[in-house]
A and B are shown apart, each in its own frame.
Chain A
Amino acid sequence: MPAVTEKRVHRLTLPNGLRVVVAPDPAAPVVGVAVYYDVGFRSEPEGRTGFAHLFEHLMFQGSARVGKMEHPRLIQGSGGTMNGSTHPDFTNYFQAVPSNALELTLWLEADRMRSPAVTEENLANQVAVVQNEIRVNVMNRPYGGFPWILLPPVAFDTFANAHNGYGDFSELEAASVQDAEDFFRRFYTPGNAVLALAGDVEAKEAFALVRKHFGDIPARRTPKRPAFSEPPLPAQRRVVHVDPLAPTPAVAIGWRAPHPAREAKASFASVVLAELLAEGDASRLVQRLVLRDRIAISAEAYLGVFGDPFEQRDPQLFTITAMHPQPVAVDLVVDTIQQEIDRIADDGVPDDELTRVQSRLRAQLLRQTDQVISRTQQLAMFEQQRGRAELVWELPDLLGALTARDVQRAAGRLRSESASILVLQAGAAA
């Protein structure tokens, strides 16, 4: 059987600024390749909502030496998978391929880092595709955009934090080839990217291939990332949204979470708190609201817009959501959630409960690292967003070392008076 994975990160920074992390693991003949650009929808310009995501689509439309659809064709045609996604603070491109396709994959990523080929025709085509993506994920289904699009404008005041990252249809249609060129030149510089390789590749070989394909991409000035922080909320906020397709109501409550860098420990404690509150049938909110009082159908708690607690820099929200039957008043749901939070803030957490929750978290984190494609993404994400790729392996112990006091303090920060509440009314209730 294969030896235990060597849990080590090898690093290289090219003269053009591209940072490279490699984590070899020969267990299976597959390799993951991920490129993370340090620009997400928080950085897109006003009047161009949705542009970071639209640009992600354009990165699949071909580049100097790669035709339209050729990137997916070459990756899939070598037996691999690929995709990309746009987040508040980064945009990523990733593939998992049989190890014989590693160099081809690097060649493809280097070509589009050098010069994507955006045309009027491709732009118009991808605007239509993105609009259909928004229809299928937001407009045509109940709870579309709940709460990831609907809650930020309640909790934040600046354009960067509050706007819809999927974008407004008219602003998508207004996007031009020139906008794409400007966005690329400004944000898609080698120095603004992290390249991660994981799996069946040795560090020496990886570095040689990376130098060969990315080494002569010209350096450009790396954009300075603005601080997106906002002052604390002076008072509770509440906004009502009517979802015409929803048959049953829902509520989302958001709080500003601890600063992931300046208050790293408090931030980790919030991760444990979220797990303790709403992960699994033994969790506090599921026990109380769903199983005991039966005033909710489901309850969730998480950090970050898309539920990954480690992918966002400051500010990010600690979010709790619940769907509830129409006859149950939303105030009862909100008050009961707050009661359960206050109970932790006042009484703390029994050690045995904390131990169980930490076991669950440990297993979940390990499970994520078992897939080469998610391990590769995490390496790049932790290196770029948290400054340390090794967190992939260190997190289970970091979270496991937190005490009941730490979790109690994290609960104490979720005050009723600083909550942003989005009430979703069921427009399709019977």
Chain B
Amino acid sequence: MSPVAKGPVRQALSTLPPRPELGPAPRIKVPSLSERVLPSGLRVVAVRRASVPLVEVRLRVPFAGRARSHLAQSSVLTDAFFSGTEIRDAHELAQAIQALGGGLSAGSDADRLAVGGSALAAHLRALLDLLAEVLVQNAYPAEEVAGERARIAEEISISRTTPSTLAGEAVSRRMFGDHPYGRDLPTVEEIHAVTPASLRRLHRDRISPAGAVLVIVGDVNPRRAIDDAEAALAGWQPDGRKPTSLPAVPAFVPGGISLLDRPASVQTSVRLVLPAPSRQHPDYPALSLANTVFAGYFSSRLVANIREDKGYTYSPHSAISHAELASYLTVDADVATDVTAPALVEMWYEQARVAAAPVTREELDSARRYLTGTLALSTASQAGLATTLVRLLDNGLDAAWLRDHPAALAKVTVDDAYRAARRWLAPAASATVLVGDAGVIGGGVEALGALSSLTLD
């Protein structure tokens, strides 16, 4: 029962204040960086950001491997990274991290090992000492490695039943084939084949400060933070080996629809994939804007079409990803199984539309303000700034990008965005990947293009 009287809430709208105009956008302050390349080759960057009494630390180390076993080995290595050193066991390490009010974790992709964490700012030196301990004295105790292997094997079985993970794996395979970039998940058999000895060897041979980057952001004095890093990490030295480089990625052959069968799936995970320019490429600012208008934010054409008009899906979006040797664009939409074919047609339509005709000036300006504003928002917290900086440095850029990229976005014309979209977003340059119930969707999709089935190992 409604306790209030019936009848709509009415008011003379004309008496209400009109929609406010936007004033000039505030200027983005680019953080000033302190920086030192240590004799070991490790580049250390520190920024003072005193908003809360914490400190954020991000380390990236070149960590590529050509062998097929590298993916499984690096998975176990990162999961066992805090399992024990020459002086402390796993429990003691975990307690030490906890005592700093912090967390430390490790992960990897086909290019890099990433170690990151945070702590109360007063404990920065202790955090760096712990980091040095796992970098220099990691032991990979056999008993702990066995436990991690069993756990990862269970986690892989879960990942292989999760549509978003399966779709990510299918995209990597379609984009990069047999290249190391083509696999995200090792097999359970590969995991079981990893030995503690192979982890110690991999660690010794590959986890080197040469070419590595360490970013420190927080309520700290930057120069003293770098001094602390230099002192704490003095024992981490290169052994003269060159980092492994990966072969060039295979040429991408566009076209076709690759279908990974997932019986009884109530949705189809639709992914469009395309090569994209790197952040350094002259087309990057213009393509970023065209992509934003197309599907890069909630106010995009794709969301307006397949979500807000047709209700086919919940959160369609596109994004550009950057690996060391390749950048690529993916468009994601998880659509109800029975509308797979019509949803795909609409996605292709919006892709073709942005490549075939210029966006409006209004669309371009909206995307421009969005990319500029959200860059400022993402660097407004310690954690956000640390993550953004390490990504830039890892991509061969520096903090000046935080100023230069908005300036480049500001210069992009409608025509520039059109040219970039025509080159990079054209349907003829893309491929389609589907994860869904082949028995239900196969027939409808077959009518739309050359359909092939995709399998994962």
Residues in A neighbouring B28, C-beta threshold 8 A: 29
Give every chain A residue within 8 A of B103 (Cβ-Cβ). Answer: 280, 360
Shortest CB-to-CB span from A16 to chain B, Å, is 12
Within 8 A of A (CB), among B318-354: 334-336
**Known contacts A142-B162, A247-B157, A363-B102; A282/B95 CB under 8 A:** yes
Select which of A65, A80, A246 is within 8 A of B13 by beta carbon: A65
Q: Decide if A72 touches B298 in the complex (CB within 8 Å).
A: yes
Q: Taking the complex as formed, is A227 at the interface, i.e. its CB lies under 8 A from any CB of chain B?
A: no
Contacts of B334 in A (CB 8 A): 132, 135-136, 140
Q: B2 contacts which chain A residues (CB < 8 A)?
A: 182, 185-186
Interface positions, chain A 32-87, Cβ under 8 Å from B, are 64-65, 68-69, 72-73, 76-82
* Whole-angstrom distance between the Cβ of A74 and the nearest chain B Cβ: 8
From B97, B162, B308, A280 is in contact (CB under 8 Å) with: B97
Contact between B161 and A367 (Cβ–Cβ < 8 Å)?
A: no
Q: Is A371 touching B380 in the complex (CB atoms < 8 A)?
A: yes
Q: Which residue in A135, A357, A369 is a CB contact (below 8 Å) of B52?
A: A369
From the candidates A212, A359, A373, name the one contacting B120 in the complex (CB within 8 A). A359
Could you say which residues of chain A place their CB within 8 Å of the CB of B366?
73, 76-77
Which partner residue on chain A sits nearest B55 by CB separation? A363
Tell me whether B158 and A142 are in contact (CB under 8 A). yes
Cross-chain contact B17 with A370 (CB below 8 angstroms): no
Question: Which stretch (B58-66, B70-78, B129-137, B309-317) binds chain A?
Answer: B309-317
Chain B residues whose C-beta falls within 8 Å of the C-beta of A388 in the assembled complex? none
By a CB distance below 8 angstroms, the chain A residues around B335 are 132
Binds B, one of A149-157, A289-297, A309-317, A340-348: A289-297
Q: Are B27 and A367 in contact (CB under 8 A)?
A: no
Identity of the chain B residue whose Cβ is nearest the Cβ of A222 in the assembled complex: B3
Q: From the candidates B29, B54, B93, name the one contacting A367 in the complex (CB within 8 A).
A: B54
Among B28-63, those with CB < 8 Å from A are 28-29, 48, 50-54
Q: Is A107 an interface residue (CB 8 A)?
A: yes
Q: Tell me the complex Cα distance, A79–B15, Å.
A: 29
Instruction: Judge whether A96 is part of the interface by a CB distance below 8 angstroms.
Output: yes
A window 266-288: CB within 8 A of B: 280-282, 287
Partner of B20, one of A30, A103, A355: A103
Interface size on B, residues (CB 8 A): 89
B52 A132 Cβ-Cβ under 8 A: no
Residue A28 lies at the interface, judged by CB distance under 8 Å to chain B:
yes
**Contacts A73-B366, A366-B53, A372-B380 given: A247-B158 contact, CB under 8 Å?**
yes
B23 within 8 A of A: yes
Contact of B299 with A77 in the complex, beta carbons under 8 Å: yes
Taken together as a complex, chains A and B put the C-alpha atoms of A199 and B35 apart, in Å, by: 30
Map CB proximity to A onto B2-31 as digits: 1 under 8 Å, 0 otherwise: 111000110101011101101111111100
Q: Check A139 for interface membership: any CB of B closer than 8 A.
A: yes
Say whether, besides A218-B9, A247-B157, A356 and B26 are in contact (CB < 8 Å): no
Smallest CB separation, B384 vs chain A (Å): 7
Against A, the Cβ 8 Å flags (1 = close, 0 = not) of B87-119 are: 000110111011111110000000000000011
Q: Which residue among A64, A245, A366 has the maximum number of chain B CB atoms within 10 Å of its CB? A: A366
- Asked whether A11 is an interface residue with its Cβ less than 8 Å from the other chain, the reply is no
- Does A101 lie within 8 Å of B95, measured CB to CB? no
Q: Do the beta carbons of B304 and A79 come within 8 Å of each other?
A: no
Asked if B381 CB lies within 8 Å of chain A CBs, one says yes
How far is A1 from B51 in the complex, measured between Cα atoms in Å?
A: 10
Q: A residues within 8 A CB of B369?
A: 77-79
Could you tell me if B118 and A363 are in contact, using CB atoms closer than 8 angstroms? yes
Contact of A29 among B26, B93, B382 (CB under 8 A): B26
Q: Which residues of B contact A30 (CB under 8 A)?
A: 376-377, 380
B239 within 8 A of A: no
Cα(A220)–Cα(B309), bound, Å: 33
* Structural contact, A76 and B97, CB atoms closer than 8 A: no
Answer whether residue B265 sits at the interface, using C-beta atoms and an 8 A cutoff.
yes
Best-surrounded residue of A69, A126, A200 (most CB of chain B within 10 A): A69
Q: Which residues of A contact B151 (CB under 8 A)?
A: 290, 294, 297
Asked if A257 is an interface residue, CB under 8 A from chain B, the answer is: no
A28 to chain B, nearest CB (A): 4
Asked if A4 CB lies within 8 Å of chain B CBs, one says yes
A104 to B264 Cα, complex, angstroms: 46
A129 and B333 alpha carbons, distance in the complex (Å): 12
Contacts of B304 in A (CB 8 A): 69
User: In the complex, are the beta carbons of B17 and A100 less than 8 A apart?
Assistant: no
Q: Is B424 an interface residue (CB 8 A)?
A: no
Q: What are the residues of chain B within 8 A of A294 when measuring CB–CB? A: 147, 150-151
- The yes or no answer to A387 lying at the interface (CB within 8 A) is no
Known interface pairs A81-B374, A356-B98, A359-B120. Does A72 touch B299 (Cβ–Cβ under 8 Å)?
A: yes
CB-contact partner of B101 in A29, A96, A360, under 8 A: A360
A99 near B26: Cβ-Cβ < 8 Å: yes
Q: Given the complex, which residues of A lie within 8 Å of B4, measured CB to CB?
A: 185-186, 220-221
Contact indicator A428/B161 (Cβ below 8 Å): yes
Taking a contact as CB atoms under 8 Å apart, the answer to whether A77 and B161 are in contact is: no
Q: Residue B336 contacts which of A124, A131, A373 (CB distance < 8 angstroms)?
A: A131
Known: A78-B373, A366-B53. A114 touches B9 (CB 8 A): yes
Chain B min CB distance to A30 (Å): 6
**Cα distance A5–B228 in the bound complex, in angstroms:** 27
B370: interface (CB < 8 Å): yes
In the complex, which residues of chain A have a beta carbon less than 8 angstroms from the beta carbon of B311?
A: 124-129, 132
Residue of A nearest to B28 (CB): A29
User: Does A425 sit within 8 A of B, measured CB to CB?
Assistant: no
Q: A1-B48, A281-B94 are in contact. Are A136 and B314 (CB under 8 A)?
A: yes
Any B CB within 8 A of the CB of A223: yes
Which chain B residues lie closer than 8 Å to A245 at the CB level?
A: 161
Q: Is A226 an interface residue (CB 8 A)?
A: no
Residues of A within 8 A of B17 (CB): 107, 212-213
Q: Mark A292-335, 1 if CB is under 8 A from B, else 0.
A: 00100100000000000000000000000001010000000000
Q: Name the B residues within 8 Å of A370 (CB-CB).
A: 51-52, 54, 381-383
Q: Is A140's CB under 8 angstroms from B163's CB?
A: yes
The docked-state distance in angstroms from the alpha carbon of A80 to that of B26 is 12
Q: A218-B11, A282-B98 are in contact. List 4 more A-B contacts (CB 8 A).
A: A79-B374, A136-B315, A212-B17, A363-B54
- A–B pairs, 26, beta carbons within 8 Å: A29-B26, A30-B376, A30-B380, A65-B16, A77-B369, A79-B373, A96-B377, A98-B373, A100-B25, A125-B310, A135-B267, A135-B314, A218-B9, A247-B160, A247-B161, A280-B94, A281-B97, A282-B95, A287-B91, A291-B90, A291-B147, A294-B151, A323-B158, A359-B120, A371-B381, A428-B161
Which 4 pairs from chain A and chain B are nearest by CB? A79-B373, A128-B311, A29-B26, A363-B101
B contact residues vs A (CB 8 Å cutoff): 2-4, 8-9, 11, 13, 15-17, 19-20, 22-29, 48, 50-54, 82, 90-91, 93-95, 97-103, 118-120, 144, 147, 150-151, 154-155, 157-158, 160-164, 264-267, 297-299, 304, 307-315, 334-336, 365-366, 369-370, 372-374, 376-377, 380-384
Interface residue ranges, A against B (CB under 8 Å): 1-2, 4-5, 27-30, 64-65, 68-69, 72-73, 76-82, 96-101, 103-104, 107, 114-115, 124-133, 135-136, 139-142, 181-182, 185-186, 200, 212-213, 216, 218, 220-221, 223, 244-248, 280-282, 287, 290-291, 294, 297, 323, 325, 355-357, 359-360, 362-363, 366-367, 369-373, 428, 430
